[in-house]
Amino acid sequence: MLRVVFIVALAGVPAAAQPPDLPAPPRAPSGQAAGRNREVVSGLIEALRDLDPDVRQHSAIALAAIGPEAIPALIQVLTDKIKERRAAAAYALGQMGEAARDAMPSLLTVLKDDDAAVRRSAAQAISRIVSSDIGAGRVSVKPLPALTTPRSNSPVPANSPPTPLDEKPK
């Protein structure tokens, strides 16, 4: 059932965002597409529960392609009890870039999630949203000053490996 919903969902997805092994679905007339998107979003949100990571990923890509109409549902999924759903929702929001700016407060909260994969997906989503600001010239990026270690106060070379977080300074 979920795979059928997924294939139907691709009707509103641009061909570039679709997996290469699927044929391009027929395009729905624009008047029908808006009404169908609610059903599609609901089906894709449910597909984020699938045990298969590929189904979750492609569902997230389809949600991202639907765009702003999917954002409220994705924000709601960020608080789901199932970690894979939270991670997939954050991933989908990140794929939207600038369009998902309204999800930023929820994504910042998800950075404190107990699961590392969920936090990583949220961080990536935030990065993609903020990167769209940098690309548009709305934010200037300055190089970071040289970092210092707690042991020596000497600059850390850029190519040095990171210090493990559980290692205590001597």
Q: What is the DSSP string of 83-124?
A: HHHHHHHHHHHHHHGGGGGGGHHHHHHHTT-SSHHHHHHHHH
pLDDT band (50, 70, 90) for residue 131: confident
**Tens digits of residue pLDDT in 70-124:** 999 999 999 999 999 999 999 999 999 999 999 999 999 999 999 999 999 999 9
CB proximity list for 66: less than 8 A, separation 6 or greater: 12, 13, 37, 40, 41, 44
**Whole-model pTM?**
0.60
Spell out the CATH class of 2-135.
Answer: mainly alpha
- For the chain, the domains span 2-135
What's residue 70's pLDDT? Answer: 93
**Tens digits of residue pLDDT in 32-53:** 555 677 899 999 999 988 889 8
Distance CA 156, CA 164 (A): 14
